[in-house]
Chains A and B, each alone.
Chain A
Amino acid sequence: MTLQYLPVLLVVIGASGFMAVMLLLNSWLGPKPRHAPVMDTPFECGSPMLQTDNRRRTAVKYYLVALLFVMFDLETVLLYPWAVMYRELGLFGLVELLVFLVSLVVGLTYVWRKGALEW
């Protein structure tokens, strides 16, 4: 059973090996020019930097999207076992789906009306 997952491990090893070879070749063949002070500053518009830490506060909308993703993606994953079993469940499965989707759509409508999807 776990033997099926062996090829996945082989792909990971193969891909990592490929990356390692490329990066080693690069560090081996790449030039080593003299160090310049401009290389120590982040890429920006050209004027000298005023602060060293560039990880500033960002819009809260990104956080909202991440929260919504956790909610809706979990609901999608919950639907997968249902979809596989649907033919055996029959009418009961359809009613179950509608009950589940109503709760999901209520959540989506709430989020929509509250303006969390506006950018």
Chain B
Amino acid sequence: MDWAFLVVAIMNLSFVLGVLLNLGGVLTWVERKQGAVMANRIGANRAYIPIPIPQKGGGVKWSKRFTVMGLWHGIADGAKMIMKEDYTPPFVDKYIYNIAPWFAVVPVLVTFAVIPFGGPFQPGIMLSDVFGLVGADFASEWVMALFGERTFQMQLADLNVGLLFVFAVGSTGIFSAALAGWASNNKYSLLGALRSSSQMISYEVFMGMAILGLVVIYGTVDMNLIAQMQGDVWFGFLPKWGIFLQPHMFFIFMAALMAENKRVPFDMPEAESELVAGYFTEYSAMKMGLFMMAEFIEIAVIAGLLTALFFGAYHVPGVHGAGDAFYWAAHPELTPGNYVFGMEVPHVVVVVGRVGSFLAKLLFFCWFQILIRWTLPKFRYDQIMRLGWKILLPLSLVNLVLTAVVVLLIGG
């Protein structure tokens, strides 16, 4: 048994689950607050934690001012859903009705498993540096004995099928809509399920097509390698990110991902004005909450995918870690090490900086998606289908041919 691998896997897992599940809660607040700011409303600002303030003449006054811009609303939402009645109506198909939320949450989280969020790192060197700094020498000896100088990836599963895994697992999300709508035995649910599954499979076709141009350029589907290839710079200043290779495909890919997530402007399955709540009309309490939560977690997962493929994943120009095999192979005149703008730093600085830069980019794209959600009106169903099949799919095919010709002409 490879204990070091297992320990690193569990470290990565707790980081990813912690970030994603918390983001799922925080984004519910971000959505409301950002909507309020954009619509010039006051917005989520009522939930508070009472703070006791001792009065002069004895006695305590409870302050209601600790609202932190309404940040407690996310927690209040979760608590409310937990404290509602968990009711399974008698007319539904019990087994399928209860299994459907599982298909909503798990594929979304599993998709994140192949996204590199911190690059190569050496836990032995990193942790022994940290422990040495605080003077816990026995701990640094212990981690060196466990990890040695091995290089691990800050990525849950370093799979060579990478992107294909993303598409394969992402497609299983359709089951949640289809099964929930069918099992609910409700006309609104069935219509919502049909609409959402047919919308999701339509957009999945050219989601795969749109990213093919980038795969042709990189020559691999391994997310880890794709991320490492983006670590260099062109002409000394322009970072080698996917956005500069295929800027038009970035927008098409993002549109496809947002349609997969079924949010406004692609809000067909729910369409509150038409279908009550779409395929989860008959769900109550936390089961309904899990559908909502999966939607918000998927915002973060989409942001992670866009970051990893188009925005250099964890890379910041000028920061290089000792494990960047591609960078050191491209620059044989340099000695591998940890550098920030040419200055040698401890390994832990590079690792923390990279995880921070990945999270910053991820939050930016979360913000960007919610910005789009509050800016655009919703499409009609025929407009969604026309946009997908008649405009974006041909565009992706043309882009694929053009990319192939250009790659052949300039020889990579």
User: How far does the alpha carbon of A39 sit from the alpha carbon of B85 in the complex, in Å?
Assistant: 12
Interchain nearest-CB distance for A61 vs B (Å): 8
Which one of A27, A62, A73 has the highest number of Cβ atoms from chain B below 10 Å of its Cβ? A73
Other-chain residue from A7, A54, A62, A91 in contact with B156 (beta carbon distance below 8 A) = A7
Interface: A56 (CB within 8 A): yes
Is B382's CB under 8 angstroms from A11's CB?
no
Other-chain residue from A32, A39, A108 in contact with B393 (beta carbon distance below 8 A) = A108
Is B157's CB under 8 angstroms from A23's CB?
no
Known contacts being A15-B105, A32-B85, A66-B198, is A80 close to B405, with CB within 8 Å? no
Interchain nearest-CB distance for A16 vs B (Å): 7
Known contacts being A22-B290, A119-B386, is A43 close to B109, with CB within 8 Å? no
User: How far does the alpha carbon of A25 sit from the alpha carbon of B194 in the complex, in Å?
Assistant: 32
Other-chain residue from B16, B21, B216, B281 in contact with A43 (beta carbon distance below 8 A) = B281
Question: What residues of chain A lie closer than 8 Å to B113, measured between beta carbons?
Answer: 7-8, 11
CB nearest neighbor in A for B5: A3
Interface: B269 (CB within 8 A): no
CB nearest neighbor in B for A53: B185
Known contacts being A54-B190, A94-B404, A97-B401, is A10 close to B9, with CB within 8 Å? yes
Is A73's CB under 8 angstroms from B201's CB?
yes
CB nearest neighbor in A for B203: A69
Question: What residues of chain B lie closer than 8 Å to A55, measured between beta carbons?
Answer: 182, 185, 190
Known contacts being A8-B110, A18-B17, is A83 close to B216, with CB within 8 Å? yes
Is A15's CB under 8 angstroms from B17's CB?
yes
Question: What residues of chain B lie closer than 8 Å to A22, measured between beta carbons?
Answer: 82, 286, 289-290
Interface: A30 (CB within 8 A): yes
Interchain nearest-CB distance for A50 vs B (Å): 12
Is A11's CB under 8 angstroms from B91's CB?
no
Interchain nearest-CB distance for B229 vs A (Å): 13
User: How far does the alpha carbon of A80 sit from the alpha carbon of B401 in the complex, in Å?
Assistant: 14
Which one of B134-142, B207-215, B235-243 is at the interface?
B207-215
Question: What residues of chain A lie closer than 8 Å to B219, measured between beta carbons?
Answer: 84, 86-87
Interchain nearest-CB distance for A17 vs B (Å): 10
Other-chain residue from B9, B82, B164 in contact with A25 (beta carbon distance below 8 A) = B82
CB nearest neighbor in A for B202: A65
Interchain nearest-CB distance for A73 vs B (Å): 5
Is A7's CB under 8 angstroms from B182's CB?
no
User: How far does the alpha carbon of A80 sit from the alpha carbon of B162 in the complex, in Å?
Assistant: 12
Interface: B84 (CB within 8 A): yes
Q: Mark B326-339, 1 if CB is under 8 A from A, else 0.
A: 00000000000000
**CB within 8 Å of A: which B44-86 residues:** 81-86
Known contacts being A23-B86, A30-B84, A80-B212, is A66 close to B17, with CB within 8 Å? no
Is A19's CB under 8 angstroms from B101's CB?
yes
Q: Mark A50-86, 1 if CB is under 8 A from B, else 0.
A: 0011111010011001101100110011011001101
User: How far does the alpha carbon of A31 sit from the alpha carbon of B82 in the complex, in Å?
Assistant: 10
Is B401's CB under 8 angstroms from A98's CB?
yes
Is B12's CB under 8 angstroms from A7's CB?
yes
Other-chain residue from A23, A32, A94, A104 in contact with B287 (beta carbon distance below 8 A) = A23
Q: Mark B79-115, 1 if CB is under 8 A from A, else 0.
A: 0011111110111000000000110011001101100
Is B109's CB under 8 angstroms from A8's CB?
no
Question: What residues of chain A lie closer than 8 Å to B191, measured between beta carbons?
Answer: 58
Interface: A48 (CB within 8 A): no
Is A69's CB under 8 angstroms from B205's CB?
yes
Is A42's CB under 8 angstroms from B89's CB?
yes
User: How far does the alpha carbon of A101 sit from the alpha carbon of B81 in the complex, in Å?
Assistant: 50
Interchain nearest-CB distance for A54 vs B (Å): 5
Is B404's CB under 8 angstroms from A30's CB?
no
Q: In the A-B complex, list the 10 residue pairs whose CB atoms are closest, starting with the nearest.
A: A119-B382, A26-B286, A76-B208, A69-B201, A42-B186, A83-B215, A7-B156, A7-B157, A15-B109, A65-B198
Chain A: residues with CB nearer than 8 A to chain B? 3-8, 10-12, 14-16, 18-19, 22-23, 25-27, 29-33, 39-44, 52-56, 58, 61-62, 65-66, 68-69, 72-73, 76-77, 79-80, 83-84, 86-87, 90-91, 93-94, 97-98, 101, 104-105, 108, 112, 117-119
Other contacts beyond A30-B84, A119-B382: 9, CB < 8 A:
A18-B17, A31-B85, A42-B89, A69-B204, A76-B209, A79-B212, A79-B400, A97-B400, A101-B400
A-B residue pairs in contact (CB < 8 Å), sample of 29: A6-B6, A6-B157, A7-B113, A8-B156, A10-B13, A11-B110, A11-B113, A15-B17, A15-B106, A15-B109, A19-B105, A26-B83, A30-B86, A31-B83, A39-B89, A40-B90, A41-B91, A52-B91, A53-B185, A56-B190, A58-B190, A62-B194, A62-B198, A73-B204, A76-B205, A83-B221, A84-B220, A93-B404, A101-B397
